[in-house]
Amino acid sequence: MPPPRKRLLQLLASGAVALASVGLVLGTQSPKVPPVLQTARDGVGENALNYAQLRKGRRGPNREMYRGAFARLGAAGPSIHDPVVQTSAQKQEALVARSKRRAFAGAPPTIPHSVQEKDPAACMACHSGGAKIAQLRAPAMSHREFAMCTQCHAMEKSENAEVGALGALPENSFVGLGEYPSGQRAYEGAPPTIPHGVFMRENCASCHGVHGEKGVRSTHPGRQSCQQCHAASAEFDQRGPPPMGAPMN
C-alpha cells in the first residue's frame, strides 16, 4: 500500500480533475438568461427574440411589404384565357412604340429607366417572366439569361454622361434595317410566317404573350410551340446549311 501522504495527493488530484470536467461541461452550455422585457410603442411589453427567431420572419411596421411582392408582380394583368380583340390602329401604335426604343429593327431595345444595380439578378426580378407594375409593362426576356444585360441594352439617358462630353460624332454610312413587314400567309386563314429573325427572340411570349402590347398580342397565348404553326421567314431567318452529318430539323 502507498504511504498515506501519497494516497492523499492522489485523491486530491482525482477530485481536481473531476471538478474541472464538470466545469467544462457546464461552461459550454448557454446561460439561462431570463427574457428581457421590451416596451413597445403602444406600451405593451413583449419578450425579446433570439437570433433564430429573428431569422424566421420580418418584424416592424413594414414586415409585410416585401412578402410575396415579386410573385404578385407577375400575377397582375391579363391571363391566357382573356379574349384578345386587335385593331390596325393598336398594331400601328405598338410598332411605333417598339421602334422608339431601338436604333434599327433587330437592335437590342434601350433601357427606359435608371439602372442602379448592374447585376443581372436585379434585371431578372422583373424581366424573367414579365410583369406589369402600375401602368408600366416589364416584358419578359426574349432570350436566355446572359451575365451582363447592359452590355447589349444601353440606357436611353446616361446618368453619368455630361452633355457634349463626346463632342460631334463622326459621320458614318451605317444604315440599319427598316421595320419588318407583316408575316406572309400561304392562303387565306393560314398561320402567318414569322416576319423577323428568331435568333435572340426564342421566347415569343416576350412580345406576343399576355403582357405584350395589345396590337401584337397573340390571340392564343396558351399554346406551347409557336413554330409548330408559324414557319420562320426564309428572308429574315437564314441560318445557313447544317454541317455535314448533322441531323436535319
Predicted confidence (pLDDT) per residue in 43-72, tens digit: 455 567 677 666 666 666 666 666 666 566
Distance CA(132)–CA(81), nearest Å, equals: 17
Q: Where are the alpha helices (DSSP H) in 57-163?
A: 69-75, 88-100, 120-127
Radius of gyration of the chain (CA): 33
Q: Which residue has the higher pLDDT, 50 or 74?
A: 50
In contact, 112 and 102? CB cutoff 8 Å? no
pTM: 0.55
pLDDT at res. 123: 87
Given pLDDT bands bounded at 50, 70 and 90, which one contains residue 17? confident
Given pLDDT bands bounded at 50, 70 and 90, which one contains residue 98? confident
Given pLDDT bands bounded at 50, 70 and 90, which one contains residue 136? confident
- Which residue is it, cell 415579386? 70
- Res 2 pLDDT > 60: no
Q: Can you read off the three cell numbers belonging to residue 169?
A: 460624332
Q: Which residue has the higher pLDDT, 25 or 11?
A: 11
- Tens digits of residue pLDDT in 79-90: 767 777 788 898
pLDDT at res. 190: 92
CB atoms within 10 A of CB 237: 16
Distance CA(138)–CA(123), nearest Å, equals: 10
Q: Give percent of the chain with pLDDT exceeding 70.
A: 64
pLDDT at res. 62: 66
In contact, 104 and 179? CB cutoff 8 Å? no
Distance CA(166)–CA(159), nearest Å, equals: 15
- Tens digits of residue pLDDT in 163-214: 445 556 667 787 777 777 888 898 998 999 998 888 888 899 888 888 788 8
pLDDT at res. 193: 92
- Res 1 pLDDT > 60: no
Q: Which residue has the higher pLDDT, 202 or 249?
A: 202
